[in-house]
Structure 1
Amino acid sequence: MTISHQIFTLSLHMLQTGHACISTKLLLRRQRNHAQEVDKLVEWCDQNSLDLNVGKTKEMITDFRRGEKETEPLVIGGEEVAQVQEYKYLGCIISSDLSWSKHIAKVVSKCNSRLYFLRKLKQFKVCHEILEMLYRASIESVLTFNLMVWYYGATVEDKSHLARVIRQAEKVVGVQFPSLDELVHKRTATKARKVVEDESHPLHDQFALMPSRRRYRAAKCRTSRMRKSFIPSAISVLNGTT
């Protein structure tokens, strides 16, 4: 079944008791059986004495079909769930078109504001070691947060904006910092090896060795969107470094 025959909805349901977040459930569905999955979620909440805060529950629909796209509103407990075009989840802004431009724009904006403090500290004659430490703690940490999730799917323009942040920091500190390409390659290789070594990891079966036992079988990708995701990229990195 191809994506043109399906409607996929990503529903982020925050299960809350008071103000404490208990769990998060991701639903990837076809329209006809989505209501059944939601009913199961509501039933599970009731059985585990959890209150589902419908007011904070959002539904984001990802649909790449052509033509008219009609979807029935999601209703929980008689209350209609709001549909959104983007959602911030675990620090990442996920868009309904599965692009990362809005998330990257937010990252660049945050880093630019912190570059201001870096420049001010240089004016106060702070040593390069302290400036480098500040960069890695307050700027590089922001640039690399969840880097493996979104960097491979970033556009050339978005990557240039990220690279500009690093170049500006290098001019202020006077030290050359590793590029995001280098950082994501290193972190992807490390993460992929951990997944391969951990047989209990949910993604372990996605990394299958070929009969030669030297390379991993490439993931089947019908779209560039899939090809730029973590698993195909991680397999390419492992095949290039093992």
Structure 2
Amino acid sequence: MELLVETAYREEVENLTSWCQHNNLHLNVSKTKELIVDYRKQQGEGHAPIAINGTTVERVSSFRFLGVHITDDLTWTLHTTTITKKAPQLFFLRRLRRFKMDSRILCNFYRCTIESILTGCITAWYGSCTDLNRKALQRVVKTAENITRTELPSMEDLYSQRLRKKSLRIIKDPHHPSHKLFCLLPSGRHYRSILTKTNRVRDSFIPQAIRLLNT
């Protein structure tokens, strides 16, 4: 079974390479990375490296995709640490306050320059964050509250709002790949829960969204 899965994976890479060639697209192998997520207790001899057009693809333990730092163990400490380090934007928020800017301007600046960074793709990763990660994120929000002297939505509230909004958008779109995973029970009031055996799956987007909608 393992051999079949790896063979299919390599075939997909070959198909992608062929598609790029036939459509006059240049595939930059030097910027292409391979990341393997493998939770098996016994991983055997490991996977042979992938080669594209005779060039071996670099294998990495983490990479940045659309602003999100993804690691091979699918934990989010690296991502949360990285985005909280961008909190120096708080320096400019303090400067605006010293210039006696209106609180509305301070809040708009916070939402545009800080909150937008903290919540980028939040529905994909926040549910699997550790308590330590969440506390680090919330400290940034708390500091911004002290500067703006305005109550700001917590990270938990922002996550819930966006989780609900995204899941409802999927439910309304029958062509979305995840649409069929939101299945109503015969009562028509609640969605069928997805059976999960690990916390990793339980804390992922679909199970979290279904629990939120059912409550």
The letter of the residue matching 1:177 is L
The one of 59, 67, 75 aligned to 1:91:
67
Match of residue 166 from structure 1: 141
- Report 1:23-172 matches (<5 A): 30-67=5-42, 68-110=44-86, 112-172=87-147
Q: Which has the higher strand share?
A: 1
Q: Deviation at 1:6?
A: 5.0
1:237 aligned partner: 212
Aligned length, in residue pairs: 214
Q: Which amino acid aligns with 1:71?
A: H
- Per the TM alignment, residue 34 of structure 1 is displaced from its structure 2 partner at its CA by 2.3
- In percent, how many aligned pairs have the same letter? 38
Question: What's the CA shift string for 1:32-78, capped at 9, x where partnerless?
Answer: 33222211111111221212111111100111112345110111111
What is the distance in 1 between the residues matched to 2:195 and 2:16? 31
The secondary structure found in structure 1 opposite 2:190 is: coil
**Amino acid in structure 1 at the alignment position of 2:55:** E
In the superposition, the TM-score normalised over structure 1's length comes to 0.84
Residues 164-198 of structure 1 deviation map (CA, whole Å, 9 limit, x = unaligned): 00111111110111111111111111111111111
Matches of 2:10 and 2:175, distance apart in 1: 31
Identify unmatched segments of 5+ residues in structure 1: 8-28
Question: Which is helix-richer, 1 or 2?
Answer: 2
- Paired residue for 1:210, among 162, 176, 185? 185
Tell me the equivalent position of 1:25. none
Cα RMSD over matched residues?
A: 1.6
SS of aligned partner of 2:109: helix
Shifted more, 55-64 versus 37-46: the winner is 37-46
Distance 2:164 2:10 in 1: 39
TM-score, structure 2 length as denominator?
A: 0.94
Q: Unpaired segments of 5 or more residues in structure 2? A: none
Q: Distance in 1 between matches of 2:194 and 2:53?
A: 41
